[in-house]
Amino acid sequence: MSTKPIDCEQALRHLFEFLDRELDAHDHEAMQQHLHTCKSCFSRVEFERRLKERFSALRQDDPTPAVSGRIQSLLKRL
Ligand SMILES: [Zn+2]
């Protein structure tokens, strides 16, 4: 199966589905191939992945208002 290359715009559009593993096998593969060749999308995905991990860790800890405020201001800067 040959995978059609995707551009950065498509990669960013699929970013969150990729992280949530909601893409079908073909799109997932295309995404991975793009990330192999594109440093800027790769670092974007890594950034979002770390953010997501932090969010799920926080959710388990039942965040205090102070922590939620810090997340809000972090999100505003994105
Ligand atoms: Zn890219």
Query: What Cα–Cα distance (Å) separates residue 8 from each residue in 13, 20, 23, 34?
Result: 8, 19, 16, 8
Check residue 1 and give its pLDDT.
Answer: 54
| Domain limits, the chain | 8-77
Calculate how far, in angstroms, residue 64's C-alpha sits from the geometric centre of ligand 1: 36
Q: What angle do CA 22, 51, 23 make, to 5 degrees?
A: 10
Check residue 20 and give its pLDDT.
Answer: 94
Residue 5 DSSP one-character state: P
Check residue 37 and give its pLDDT.
Answer: 96
Calculate how far, in angstroms, residue 61's C-alpha sits from the geometric centre of ligand 1: 34
Check residue 58 and give its pLDDT.
Answer: 82
Calculate how far, in angstroms, residue 68's C-alpha sits from the geometric centre of ligand 1: 31
For 15-74, the pLDDT digits (tens) are 999 999 999 999 999 999 999 999 999 999 999 999 999 988 887 766 566 777 777 888
Predicted structure pTM score: 0.68
Dist CA 7 CA 77 (whole Å): 25
Calculate how far, in angstroms, residue 30's C-alpha sits from the geometric centre of ligand 1: 11
